[in-house]
Structure 1
């Protein structure tokens, strides 16, 4: 298990193969505690998390709401799914269109990243899923009308030891300095 942040960043992977091993509730709680430590615009903390443990609902989401995407790997019986939602009301009231189109997305993305980084310290793997039919998800999860769904995160014990990260672009390709 990693504890150094740079080592953690280098080792984090999207996991799509999970063991048939139940994820303990305490570990899910730790992931969510990490999520709420994320920064947010005006500290509104608009995120709301739905932990989906019911395998029938996960399967329905996979088949009905994520139908255009290859999600067959989500059929593992011990997989947990975290729906990352937000109530944009306060952010939109304060920041208008920029709050709705940018700050809410940044806020939820920061919370998601915290979950992704915390998971390996608990021996867990995750995968961030952004491709789904929002209307179907809202229907299946019976979401309150004030909530918007932004992403899902699968959580489970990785089936395989995570290997080395695929190559990354060199800093010289992505960084420029303005002096």
Structure 2
């Protein structure tokens, strides 16, 4: 598929058919993700793919419990919002497959020559490690579209990122940074409207 077509067709898909996704397809999506640029070419990512519905339901239950434990405002709206957030946080249990993207900590070159802490440098540089993850995720989403699949980038389940990492037996040096559900879309999802280029672009001479 032409790259422009892939980019324009990509949209968040949260409803899938019963058709599964092969291990090879998931591996290829992660391979394309790993081609993304990263801070100092550190390539901090590690991918864990899953298609086991029972395990996905177990993970979803943990996420739902964490959301339930959040203190809510003393009004009816607070409970409604938590229910809405819960749906968008655990729908991955109904997807054919999920890819978890973990990252390892990095030390920037700048940290070796200044007295600033890692967090201070990271903040000053607008979190290049998370920007690296963003580039990786975009590669993965576009790869899924190119393969005729639907996908959705997720971060809300990260409320239980420590529990998820433990349940997946991922080494503690890695931290869950994002998730992606993937499968065959249940129907055609038209891309959401985007801002016109003239409203977001400026050329300075």
TM-score, length-scaled by structure 2 = 0.76
Matches within 5 A, 1:147-158: 147-158=174-185
Using the TM superposition, name which of 33-42 and 140-149 deviates more: 140-149
Provide Cα deviations, 1:76-100, integer angstroms capped at 9, x if missing partner.
Answer: 3x61111111111xx2253533348
Equivalent position of 1:104 in the other structure: 129
**C-alpha contact (below 8 Å) 1:38/1:114 kept by paired residues:** yes
1:142 counterpart (162, 169, 179)? 169
1:84 counterpart (79, 101, 108)? 101
SS in structure 2 of the partner of residue 59 of structure 1:
helix
Give the superposition deviation at 1:136: 2.7
Bigger radius of gyration:
2
1:171 aligned to 2:169?
A: no
Which runs of 5 or more structure 2 residues have no equivalent in the other structure? 68-84, 111-117
1:131 aligned to 2:156?
A: yes
TM-score, length-scaled by structure 1 = 0.86
Aligned-pair Cα RMSD in Å = 2.0
SS in structure 2 of the partner of residue 69 of structure 1:
helix
Equivalent position of 1:45 in the other structure: 43
**C-alpha contact (below 8 Å) 1:47/1:107 kept by paired residues:** no
Which runs of 5 or more structure 1 residues have no equivalent in the other structure? none
